[in-house]
Amino acid sequence: MVLDATVRLLPGVVGEERSIREDSFEAGLLDHPHYTRPAEVEGLEVPEVLLSGDHEAIRLWRRKESLRRTRARRPDLFASAPLTDEDRELLKEIEAEEGEAG
């Protein structure tokens, strides 16, 4: 694990530089869920927003899911994560959604 974590920081090792910056914990939060093809596997479907082509909607979905996952699994990370005003609004939405579901 240490070797993998170290080698990934060398230029050219990872195909897309952005991948390293978006790794889980890089921004102080857990990563959003990742999906691939096909669009449905064993009855589970890729969220429609990810198929929409709307890059801004996809960005917001990813950030919201990252916040949701962190809130559920590692809320302690919020103590040191740099949250934006947008993040705080997304967290309010998550809390409202969970309140409706509960």
pLDDT in tens, 5-18: 677 677 777 666 65
Task: Set out the domains of the chain in order of their start, with CATH numbers.
Answer: 24-101 (1.10.1270.20)
CA distance 67 to 31: 8
pLDDT in tens, 44-75: 899 999 999 999 999 999 999 999 999 999 99
CA distance 3 to 6: 5
Q: Which amino acid is at 83?
A: L
Which of 26-30, 45-49, 77-81, 97-101 is the least confident region? Answer: 26-30
Two tokens at 101? 């579901």
Q: CA 60: distance to chain centroid? A: 10
Percent of the chain with pLDDT over 90: 54
Does pLDDT of 38 surpass 60? yes
User: How much is the mean pLDDT over the chain?
Assistant: 85
CA-to-CA dists, residue 73 to 2, 81, 82, 89, angstroms: 23, 14, 18, 19
CA distance 72 to 61: 16
Among 58, 57, 47, 94, residue whose Cα is nearest residue 75: 94
